[in-house]
Amino acid sequence: MKLIANLFLSLLIVLGSACAEEADPAQAELNVEVDGRPIEIDREQSVVSYADVLDRATPAVVAVYTARIVSAPSGGLQPGVPELFRRFGLPTPQPEPDEGPVERRQRLGVGSGVVVSRDGYIVTNHHVVHDPRGGVVDEIRIRTRDNVEHEAELVGSDEKTDVAVLKIETEEALPAVILGDSDNLRVGDIVFAIGNPLEVGLTATQGIVSATGRDSLGILGRGGYENFIQTDAAINLGNSGGALIDAWGRLVGINTAIISRSGGSNGIGFAIPVNMVLNVATNLIERGEVPRGLLGLFPENLTPDLADAFGLETTRGALVNQVQEGSPADLAGIRHGDVILQIDDVRIQSAPQLRLLVSQMAPGSEVSVKLIRQGEELTLPVVLGSLNGEVASAESSESVLEGVTLRAITEEIREEFSLPDGIDGVFVAGVSGDSPHADDLSGNMVIMEVNGRSVETPEDLADALKPGVNRLYTWLGGVLRYEVIRIED
């Protein structure tokens, strides 16, 4: 089944993260209007049209156009022109003097966005404002419903939730959508997908909420945070970053992706819940990043066989496969084989839910982890670290490579992990599943060289890394090979 992750919207958040520090009042704020009431049925009045509902919401939905600025010679002839003239026996035209390169605009793509504040903040998808290789585009333009275009500034973007925030400057206040409470959504609620599908213009389609809490689709790739609303409202290419509206005209999600064999809508579309989007957008505006809590362990779902083997009556919870050395979980006494049942007051149903929940918590905060170990229930206090490297244990070096714990090789490490003599470098003690390097690096690996330079300590490795593409020579399980990782500027 082909996953088309090209329809994302841009209002993703980290569901309930109370940030580690209060924002500076002098910094920009996101002033949004929120209506958190659940939908109620008025049995005295039948609904024959949703035109008034859409009239309230559609003015806030915009088209998003992106472009790259490329250089081309100002003089010279097009390739193939001289040969064409010679073939027909005609004099070859002489090129004009080259006056240097001329910049021209090369269009990249089109998506949608939603105005969430009257002073010009717009949410959309991360992938809408980046090129196919993940690079930031050179130009972003917004077209409103009245066909007025504005140049937009990229305020911030979060790849792990596929949310981005744009800002445009206008003399007049913009029509902003009212935000609902996505936690109140129920399967069967009527919703509308509004955007610019296939660039035909502003379009609204109707459907229902088909499911909530879709967290294991793999749409956002490894390290992404998924908690999608599923809908059968038609979503097509160009709807990415557009609005999912409820029956009262409130924003409840940002349209992001579809599952389709043909590339068109098959009635299975996904949107980021507005609560998550609002959290992410607020952090991007006020802090320039999204702080995320870190436990430092690798959880997995319990299968019926695993639950039976551990003497559990249900598959509820998250089984701890591995604990990173020196991580908050390790320091708190969590061990592999533990089954995490609850974090504070939230009951854990699955490993993806645990990962998402912790990521939304403030780094440095203390949480209560309830778990079961060999049939005995325990409650352990844990001070969360930071996935961004702001709060880390004294022994770890997570700030060198995000989500990667590195160690200099000692005799103890060499003996414990049976590292051969002559294999020297930096030991990878663990790689978080949230790490952008999780596909390339793994625990018990030795990084011997970085960009052709031998390394022996995490500090050596940090000095050898450079922004962009990096070449690593590694050893793992007797196999030597090159790995390539990318470091953002």
What is the spatial distance between Cα 325 and Cα 82, in angstroms, rounded to a whole number?
A: 67
Token representation of residue 358: 């912790």
What is the spatial distance between Cα 171 and Cα 155, in angstroms, rounded to a whole number?
A: 19
Residue among 234, 244, 230 at smallest CA distance from 265 = 234
Active-site residue flag, 127: yes
17, 126, 162, 350: the active-site residue: 162
Place of tokens 């979503």: 235
For residue 440, give Cα distances in angstroms to 327, 395, 404, 470, 484: 21, 23, 11, 12, 7
Place of tokens 């590195």: 406
Burial of 359 from C-beta contacts in 10 A (0-12 / 13-18 / 19+): buried
182, 210, 240, 432: the active-site residue: 240
Q: What is the CA radius of gyration of the chain?
A: 26
- How far, rounded to the nearest angstrom, does the alpha carbon of residue 375 sit from its chain's CA centroid? 37
Inter-residue contact 135 to 141 (CB < 8 Å) = no
126: left (phi over 0), alpha (psi -120 to 50) or beta: alpha
What is the spatial distance between Cα 487 and Cα 235, in angstroms, rounded to a whole number?
A: 33
CA angle (120 as vertex; 119, 124 as ends), nearest 5: 145
10, 117, 127, 265: the active-site residue: 127
User: Counting every residue, how long is the chain?
Assistant: 489
Token representation of residue 400: 């060198």
Interacting residues of 369 by C-beta distance below 8 A, sequence separation 6+: 332, 334, 340, 342, 343, 379, 380, 381, 382
Half-sphere exposure of 65 (CA within 13 A, CB side): 15
Residue among 252, 262, 255 at smallest CA distance from 2 = 262
Catalytic residues: 127, 162, 240
